[in-house]
């Protein structure tokens, strides 16, 4: 013997039902509505569905405002004048990938990257190798080898990089499904170009206070168009 529950009106979607207050219906099918609202609650809490072929990276942290998802195998270029926040933005890419438990590498030919900023951005140091003192003539070779082994490479491009080398690196990144984030001039096309345009510092007065944070104005240029956003420059993990 089976019992049937008769719903008071047509249920169109889960969302529709969850909005309907239970008390409004004259004869509330208590158990089922409760279960359904739980299902809706769970569905809302979990992230968007991911098909197994889609290997894009869901970005967490402040960069999310501008780049909610990152495709693997692309080249992103971040530039801007010194002091306008381009390094911080580039490190945010690293933090997004590092938070997934993947390995990253940073190429810092001049040896000027601050390790503390790297840790503060939320990059896990155990899974991040910094390559320093790279001669300009071997730069492309080193980046190509790093792309073989890690999920993301952040590299300061040398001033006179050959376009042929750059294109070879684009192909290598696509083939290995690794992200390449370039800071500085890039003589080839890129799927994503970001420019840091500075921003006002908060917390520092005329002889008082101390630097707290700033919102970096960033301009994003993709194939779809240009977007602007403000990205908080200090972002501790979590």
Binding residue for another protein, selected from 15, 213, 226, 228, defined by CB under 8 A:
213
Task: Give me the least distance between CB of 76 and another protein, in Å please.
Answer: 17
Residue 132 within binding range of another protein, rule CB under 8 A? yes
Residue 148 within binding range of another protein, rule CB under 8 A? yes
Question: Going by C-beta distance under 8 Å and a sequence separation of 6 or more, which residues neighbour residue 175?
Answer: 73
Q: Checking phi first, is residue 101 left (phi over 0); if not, alpha (psi -120 to 50) or beta? A: left
Task: Give the H/E segment covering residue 181.
Answer: strand 179-183
- Output the CA–CA distances (angstroms, integers) from residue 154 to 13, 85, 92, 194, in the order listed: 45, 15, 10, 14
CA–CA gap between residue 18 and residue 33 (Å, rounded): 8
> Restricting to residues 77-96, which ones interact with another protein according to CB under 8 A?
81-88, 91
Task: Give me the least distance between CB of 210 and another protein, in Å please.
Answer: 5
Cβ–Cβ < 8 Å for 77, 190: yes
Task: Give me the least distance between CB of 173 and another protein, in Å please.
Answer: 14
Residue 134 within binding range of another protein, rule CB under 8 A? yes
Cβ–Cβ < 8 Å for 91, 118: yes
Binding residue for another protein, selected from 34, 171, 177, 211, defined by CB under 8 A:
211
Residue 133 within binding range of another protein, rule CB under 8 A? yes
CA–CA gap between residue 63 and residue 45 (Å, rounded): 21
β-bridge partners, 224? none
CA–CA gap between residue 205 and residue 217 (Å, rounded): 21
Q: Could you tell me which stretch among 30-38, 55-63, 104-112, 218-226 binds another protein (CB under 8 A)?
A: 104-112
Binding residue for another protein, selected from 75, 118, 155, 170, defined by CB under 8 A:
118
Radius of gyration of the chain (CA): 24
The 176-205 site mask, x for binding another protein (CB under 8 A), equals ----------------------xxxx-xxx
Task: Give me the least distance between CB of 191 and another protein, in Å please.
Answer: 23
CA–CA gap between residue 88 and residue 217 (Å, rounded): 12
β-bridge partners, 216? 231
Q: Residue count at the site for another protein (CB under 8 A)?
A: 62
Task: Give me the least distance between CB of 219 and another protein, in Å please.
Answer: 14
Task: Give me the least distance between CB of 107 and another protein, in Å please.
Answer: 9
Q: Could you tell me which stretch among 20-28, 37-45, 159-167, 212-220 binds another protein (CB under 8 A)?
A: 212-220
Which residues sit at the interface with another protein, rule CB under 8 A? 81-88, 91, 101-103, 105, 111-120, 124-135, 138, 141-142, 145-146, 148-151, 198-201, 203-214, 233-234
């Amino acid at each position: 013997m089976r019992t049937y529950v008769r719903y008071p009106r047509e249920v169109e979607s889960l969302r529709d039902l969850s909005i309907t207050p239970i008390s409004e219906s004259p004869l509330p099918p208590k158990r089922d509505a409760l279960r359904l609202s739980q299902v809706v609650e769970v569905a809302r809490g979990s992230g968007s569905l991911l098909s197994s072929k889609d290997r894009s990276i869901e970005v967490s942290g402040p960069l999310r405002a501008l780049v909610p998802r990152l495709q693997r195998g692309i080249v992103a270029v971040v530039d801007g004048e010194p002091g306008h926040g381009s390094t911080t933005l580039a490190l945010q890419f690293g933090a997004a990938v590092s938070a997934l438990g993947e390995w990253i590498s940073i190429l810092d030919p001049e040896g000027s990257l601050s390790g503390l900023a790297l840790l503060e951005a939320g990059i896990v140091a155990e899974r991040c190798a910094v390559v320093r003192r790279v001669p300009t003539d071997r730069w492309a070779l080193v980046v190509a080898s790093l792309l073989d082994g890690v999920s993301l490479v952040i590299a300061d491009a040398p001033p006179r990089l050959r376009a042929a080398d750059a294109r070879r690196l684009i192909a290598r990144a696509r083939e290995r499904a690794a992200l390449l984030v370039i800071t500085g001039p890039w003589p080839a096309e890129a799927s994503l170009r970001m420019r840091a345009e500075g921003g006002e510092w908060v917390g520092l007065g005329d002889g008082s206070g101390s630097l707290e944070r700033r919102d970096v104005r960033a301009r994003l240029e993709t194939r779809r168009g240009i977007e602007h956003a403000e990205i908080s420059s200090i972002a501790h993990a979590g």
